[in-house]
Amino acid sequence: MYALVIDGGRPLEGQVRISGAKNAALPLMAAAILTREPCVIRGIPRLSDVAFMGRILTSLGASVRFNGGSVTIQASRIRGFADYDLVRKMRASVCILGPLLARLGHAQVSYPGGCVIGPRPIDLHLKGMRALGAEITIDGGYVCARAEKLRGAPIFLGGRAGPTVLGTANVMMAAALAEGTTVIDSAACEPEVVDLANFLNAMGAKIAGAGSPTITVTGVKELHGATHEVIPDRIEAATFAIAAAATKGEVTLTHVRPEHLRSVLDKLMEVGVEIFENGESLTVRAAGPFRPSDITTQPYAGFPTDAQAQMTVLMTQADGVSIITERIFESRFMHVSELARLGANIAIEGPSAVVKGPTPLRGAPVMASDLRASAALVIAGLVAQGRTRVRRIYHLDRGYEMIDAKLRKLGARVRRISE
C-alpha cells in the first residue's frame, strides 16, 4: 500500500494538462460491448478504475487492448455473467447491465462496490430495465435480468437526490437496441451523459436530447464500431483549480471545457479567486484574502458533490464562516475529522459543514476514506506548514492520473512511498 508524503507551504505554479474524464470513460468502455465490431476510445485516463473495467470486459469475453492513451475493445462474443470479485470493487461496473441485457437478452451482474460515501442504491437502474420489459430478480447478491425483447417505454428516473447519472447511462445503452422509442424523463444532464450519447450515436444509435432532462432514444437493430475521444475530466480540473487557489499560486489548466465547470468557477470567483479563460485552457490565480461562501451540492449544472471536499479545504483559509451543505450523498463529510488533525475548525450540523477560517494548517498523518476525500487531504497537505502523510492513496489512483507527478511539475514537494 502507498502513501503520499507532502511538504507543504509552497504555492503551485505552472501548467498542467487535464486527463480524460473517468466518469465518462467507464460507461464508454461498457458501451463498446453493444457491438461485435471494434471500438476505439481515445484520451483514456490511466486509472485503476479504468484497468478494472478492462478486466471486467475481458472476463465477459471481449478483447481489450490498451495502447498509450487509447483502448480498443472488440466484443465479438461475450457472456452475460459478471463475476463478484471484479464488480464489487467499482460502482461504475453496474453500467454493464444495460449493454449485456440489450446485446444478449440476459445478464447476471453482482451488486457493485466503490467509495463508502453513503447509500447509493441501484433501484433506478432496475426500474429502467423493468420498464423496458426485463424481468429482474436478486439472487445471492447478483442482479439477474432477462428479456426476450426489450421494448421502448416512457421512463422516469428522478430519485431522492435528483437524477441518476449511471442509471441514465445504463437505460440509454439498453434502449439503444430496444424495439421502438424510449423517453427518459428526469434524465441526468451531466457532460458525461452527453459524451456517452455522442459515442452511441457515432455507433449508429438514434439519441436526442442528451444534456437536457428529457432524452429520446429510438431503438435500432444493431450498432457498429466507432472511434471516440473522451471529454476532459471536469472534476480533476476543479481539483487542480481549487489547489492552485488554496496554495495562493497561479496555474494554467489545459485540455479543459470551461463550460463544464461554471458552478465551480463561479464559486471560486465569489471567494476572491481570479479566473482567466482562453479557449480550452484556464488560468487560476489567488488574488488576495478569501471571502467565505455558502455552497450547496446539486445535480449538474449545480455545484458538484465531487468537488465539495476540495472546496471545504479552501474555505478553511477564508476570512469568516462558510456553510457547505451536502445534498447528494449523506456520508460525504468523512474527510472533516482528518482535516481537524491538520488544524481545521469545522463542525458538522446535519447535512452541513460549518467552516470557520482563516485557520493555519499544520502537517500531520491523515487517512483517506474515499476518492474525493483523498484529493481534499492532498490539497490540505499542500497548504499546511510542515509534513503531511496521506495514507491509503489507492483511492486517488482510482480517479486521478499520476496526480503526484502532476503536482511535482507545479512545484509541489510530493513523493510516493510504500508502507
- With a cut of 80, say whether residue 358 has pLDDT above it: yes
- With a cut of 60, say whether residue 251 has pLDDT above it: yes
Region of 161 on the Ramachandran plot (φ > 0 left; ψ -120 to 50 alpha; else beta): alpha
- With a cut of 90, say whether residue 118 has pLDDT above it: no
**What's the start-to-end Cα distance of the chain, in Å?**
6
Q: What is the pLDDT of residues 153-167, one digit of tens each?
A: 999 999 887 899 999
Q: Is the distance from CB of 251 to CB of 240 less than 8 angstroms? A: yes
Who's near 341: CB < 8 A, 6+ residues apart?
364, 365, 366
Residue 339 sits at the vertex; the CA angle it makes with 316 and 296, to the nearest 5 degrees, is 55
Q: What is the pLDDT of residues 122-165, one digit of tens each?
A: 889 999 999 999 999 988 888 899 999 999 999 999 988 789 99
Q: What is the pLDDT of residues 215-240, one digit of tens each?
A: 999 999 999 999 999 999 999 999 99
Of 39, 115, 144, 189, which is the active-site residue? 115
Q: Which amino acid is at 146?
A: R
- With a cut of 50, say whether residue 116 has pLDDT above it: no
Q: Is the distance from CB of 35 to CB of 78 less than 8 angstroms? A: no
- With a cut of 50, say whether residue 121 has pLDDT above it: yes
C-alpha cell at 11: 504555492
Q: Is the distance from CB of 100 to CB of 107 less than 8 angstroms? A: yes
Q: What is the pLDDT of residues 178-220, one digit of tens each?
A: 999 999 999 999 999 999 999 999 999 999 999 999 999 999 9
Domain boundaries, the chain: 2-19+232-418, 22-229
pLDDT reported for residue 100: 96
The whole-chain average pLDDT of the chain stands at: 94
Same fold, 2-19+232-418 and 22-229: yes
pLDDT reported for residue 98: 97
Tell me how far apart the alpha carbons of residues 75 and 394 are, in angstroms, rounded to a whole number.
29
Whether 144 is catalytic: no
Phi, psi for residue 90 in degrees, rounded to 5: -155, 125
The CATH number of the domain covering residues in 2-19+232-418: 3.65.10.10
Task: Grade residue 114 by pLDDT with cuts at 50, 70 and 90.
Answer: very low
Average pLDDT on 107-122 reads 64
Q: What is the pLDDT of residues 24-51, one digit of tens each?
A: 999 999 999 999 999 999 999 999 999 9
C-alpha cell at 123: 433501484
Name the CATH code of domain 22-229 (choices 3.40.50.20, 3.30.360.10, 2.30.30.30, 3.65.10.10): 3.65.10.10
- With a cut of 70, say whether residue 113 has pLDDT above it: no
- With a cut of 80, say whether residue 414 has pLDDT above it: yes
Q: What is the pLDDT of residues 55-75, one digit of tens each?
A: 999 999 999 999 989 999 999
Q: Is the distance from CB of 63 to CB of 90 less than 8 angstroms? A: no
Question: Which percentage of the chain shows pLDDT scores above 90?
Answer: 87
pLDDT reported for residue 89: 66
- With a cut of 90, say whether residue 82 has pLDDT above it: no
